[in-house]
Amino acid sequence: MGLDKSDVIVTTARGVHADALAEFALLVMLAHVKDLPRLQREQQAHRWERYCCSELSGKSLTIIGAGQVGARVASLARAFNMEVNAVVNRPSPERRAELFANDIFGQADMRVAVKHADYIVLATPHTPQTEKMIDAEFWAATKPGVVFINIARGQVVDEPAMIAALGNGQIGFAGLDVAAKEPLPPGSPLWSMPNVLISPHSASTAPSENRKITDIFIRNLRHYIDGNPDKMINVLDKARMY
């Protein structure tokens, strides 16, 4: 309490998990587009039957909350020849270029940005402004059968509305690294939904994590000791709390 009014400098691990989270997002997209569940079922049944799957090339991806993680998702998606659109706080031509985006939208136009999306990646911070912003009205604005990937925070999503959208097919498939309550309660219907892939908030966990965090800490500590706090990176914006 009161941190926003203090002179205390707080730094974060922003960007440390960008590669791992972006790879998880691509994992979900590829598992969906190549119908990985079918392959697993056919293998278990010892059945060899050729089938036709789709491809990511030409598909539309909207990234909501495109910071460093979103930028990494965008760069990988473009490598698969996807159309990339992004929702950011302050859209500009410079931000569009940084995110490799075909188009860029402000938060007020979020539902316009997802209208034609085949895939949606949620990577926005959890703040009072983003609390449950992915609600029933949001899903009503999306294309039926959209694929949803949450690598943000569970509290950004109205979970009952998402479960309803998964049940009626508005969401065709979801890859969820987070939940409104963690651990995900044993009685949650998400566990048994066939169109849901659950990750136990582990998509960001990689062997390089501690090294990257330590590198940021050491760099910032050196600047602080040398009296150059203006050179510190990942300084927390206390107004926005990220």
Query: What is the distance between the terminal CA atoms of the chain, rounded to a whole angstrom?
Result: 15
Name the residue among 86, 168, 160 with its Cα closest to residue 123: 86
Name the residue among 14, 1, 2, 65 with its Cα closest to residue 232: 14
On the question of a cis peptide bond just before residue 183, with omega within 30 degrees of 0, the verdict is yes
Query: Considering 72, 126, 153, 159, which one is annotated as catalytic?
Result: 153
Active-site residue, 17 included = no
Active-site residue, 153 included = yes
CB 84 within 8 A of CB 78: yes
Which helix (H) or strand (E) segment is 103 a member of?
Answer: strand 103-106
Query: Considering 116, 182, 211, 222, which one is annotated as catalytic?
Result: 182
SS3 for 154-167, per residue? HHHECHHHHHHHHH
Query: Considering 111, 201, 219, 223, which one is annotated as catalytic?
Result: 201
Q: How many CB atoms lie within 10 A of CB 54?
A: 12
Which active-site residues does the annotation give? 153, 182, 201
